[in-house]
Chain A
Amino acid sequence: MSSHPQKSTGFILGFSLVFMVLIAVPFFMDLFYQTFLTEVLVWVLFAVSFDLIFGYTGLLSFGQALFFGLGAYSIAIPVSKFGLGLGPAFLLAIIIPMLFAWLVGYFSVKLSGIHFVIITLIFALIGSTIGETWTSLTGGADGLTIPFTPLQIGPLKIDFTNIKTNYYLVLVVASLCFLLLKRMVQSPLGKVFIAIRENEDRARLIGYNVQRYKLLAFVIAGGLSGVAGGLYGITLKYASANSLHWGVSGHAVVYTIVGGMGTLFGPVLGTGIIMSLEHYLLNYMQGTDLVIGMVLVFMVLVAPKGLVGLLQRKGK
């Protein structure tokens, strides 16, 4: 962890370049690809939030779908049923998933290894079952349509039903969250998360309340998953119980492993590549899961540290 000013400068330049390119996207890509890229950015955010708890803290959770779905419903229910504005609803998409993450995490982080995985899966199953059966609130598998009125900020009227506007909202929010996470994993707090991942017992013996830090990581990741879910709901104008299904967590697992866990860039790369591959394959086949599964197995065998790990090895 010696200081690498070149690395920081490299990151700032790289991020700025990518951000500029992404800002320019609506000027050279048609609406279909703008929508596709918007979805990619949503899933990137979900995957990097998962990387915080899995890649950096060592907690494999299949419960992140619960917070993702709650994020979507935290917007859908208040807006469609109570006429709440988008701004306050978006705050709920952060707060409500964080509260649930605290509740789930409180019980889950007392466990470790496979027991932790299973309990998070159980919570996700409970969430998706409630989502599917409490149809009066959630719309069940049919879901809820989110009616949007333009957001008024002073003289400015922002219409999120507009694809370009929606794209920029997701781009800005996802970028800010990514930068926040990047700073956090490099901070003293991030070092604690990493220490816990590397050797939980040693971390405990030198004075870290490991459960408390695991819970903190879980809540932060839950909140960011909620933001991703909220953006998903805004993008699709729709929320359904399918968002709560544990399989949604599986997407984050695949993207993170393929891209490279514990790197933040890995989930970005993994999400972009896998989603692009799925999009391409849909032209030729219906069941893309088989191919994606094979890609995952291949990566685990050939490059267990993911694409980022492979690139780092080649770089050396």
Chain B
Amino acid sequence: MTLREVSKSFGGLLAVNNANLSVKKGELRALIGPNGAGKTTLLNLITGIYPVSQGQIHFKSREITRLSPDRISHQGISRTMQITSLFSGLTVFENIWVAVQSRKKFFNPFIRAIKWQEVRAKTNQMLELTGLQDKAELICSELAYGEQRILEMGIALSTDPDLLLLDEPTAGLNTQESIALVKKMRAMLSGQTIILVEHDMGVVMELADRISVLHYGEILAEGSPEEIRNNEEVKKVYLGY
């Protein structure tokens, strides 16, 4: 994934300014920065939710700058949202099902969906991965918050992404819940490239291969967790020491 001089403005507000980012295959890149730095905006640009004002985005050697979100998904990019985004009136099983089904090119409108063995098998497999198989028939709004975050990740993984964007997965969780979620996340992932937006520095330092720091829409610094920890400018602007 490469971002070249990507900018995004909303009227007079420059939310992302000339961002250059390059994420290698298999890497876990953390994006950190104060609130309003442009982290979620950057993810929204990558996933096509916002159109880019300037610059280019490339993924697997293909330019995806102007693609719609659904087409970007089919390129192999999936994400979770800052505020949990599920199919709230559907069961846990149905939430996963719909994501698994999205990879199929053709739907037969005259068969009952439950008879589709291939999708059913993959859905059950993904349910086991999330550990929510015992809650498959619950409406997802009945799940605990942490379980909803896991389910959202399960939905994202059910589309077989090569690149997974995680937007503050531990937001709203206490320390214990965050640790449990991170453990669960590690168990669910299998070699995907990840861009992680996170405020919890404990999670970031533990998981990230490299860290990019955003400040007022610009990439302030980039490096290994140790390099970022020791970067004076980052300390001043974000880490607060």
Question: What residues make up the interface of A, taking CB atoms closer than 8 Å to B?
Answer: 1-3, 183-184, 186-192, 194-195, 197-199, 201-210
Contact = CB atoms under 8 A, between A and B. Distances in A.
Interface in B61-107: 68-70, 73-74, 78-79, 85-91, 93-94, 97-99, 101-104, 107
Given A1-B94, A207-B74, A202 B86 contact: yes
Interface stretch (B111-119, B180-188, B199-207, B233-241): B111-119
Nearest to A182: B112
A300 B94 CA distance: 27
B171 interface: no
Nearest to B100: A206
B230 interface: no
B174 interface: no
A195 B175 CA distance: 33
Contact of B98 (A2, A184, A206): A206
Contacts of A3: 114
Contacts of A191: 94, 97-98, 101, 113
26 contacts: A2-B136, A183-B109, A186-B112, A187-B109, A187-B112, A187-B113, A188-B101, A188-B109, A189-B109, A190-B113, A191-B101, A192-B98, A194-B87, A194-B90, A198-B88, A198-B89, A199-B85, A199-B88, A201-B85, A202-B85, A202-B87, A204-B69, A205-B49, A206-B102, A207-B74, A208-B70
A184 B111 CA distance: 8
B97 A204 contact: no
Interface of B: 47, 49, 68-70, 73-74, 78-79, 85-91, 93-94, 97-99, 101-104, 107-114, 116, 119, 136-137, 155-156, 158-159
Nearest to B159: A206
B78 A205 contact: yes
Contacts of A201: 49, 85
Contacts of B47: 205
A63 B103 CA distance: 33
Given A1-B91, A1-B94, A203-B98, A188 B107 contact: yes
B112 A183 contact: yes
A315 B186 CA distance: 42
Main secondary structure of the interface of B (DSSP, over half): loop
Nearest to A199: B87
A245 B49 CA distance: 38
Nearest to B69: A204
B70 A183 contact: no
Given A1-B97, A209-B70, 7 more contacts: A188-B101, A188-B119, A190-B109, A194-B87, A194-B90, A208-B102, A209-B68
Nearest to B94: A1
Contacts of A202: 85-87, 155
Contacts of B88: 198-199
Nearest to A189: B109
Nearest to A183: B110
Given A206-B99, A207-B103, A1 B93 contact: yes
Nearest to A8: B112
Nearest to B77: A205
A202 B79 CA distance: 10
Contacts of A197: 89
A304 to B, nearest CB: 13
B90 A195 contact: yes
Nearest to B88: A198
A197 B88 CA distance: 10
A202 B116 CA distance: 22
B110 A184 contact: yes
B90 A187 contact: no
Nearest to B101: A188
Contacts of A184: 109-110
Given A187-B113, A188-B104, A198 B70 contact: no
A189 B85 contact: no
A213 to B, nearest CB: 10
Given A1-B114, A188-B108, A192-B98, A210 B70 contact: yes
Given A186-B113, A198-B90, A199-B88, A206 B108 contact: no
A133 to B, nearest CB: 39
Contacts of B101: 188, 191-192
A2 B114 contact: yes
A223 to B, nearest CB: 13
A207 B76 CA distance: 10
A30 to B, nearest CB: 39
Contacts of A194: 87, 90, 94
B110 A2 contact: no
A187 B108 CA distance: 7
B71 to A, nearest CB: 8
Contacts of B98: 191-192, 195, 203, 206
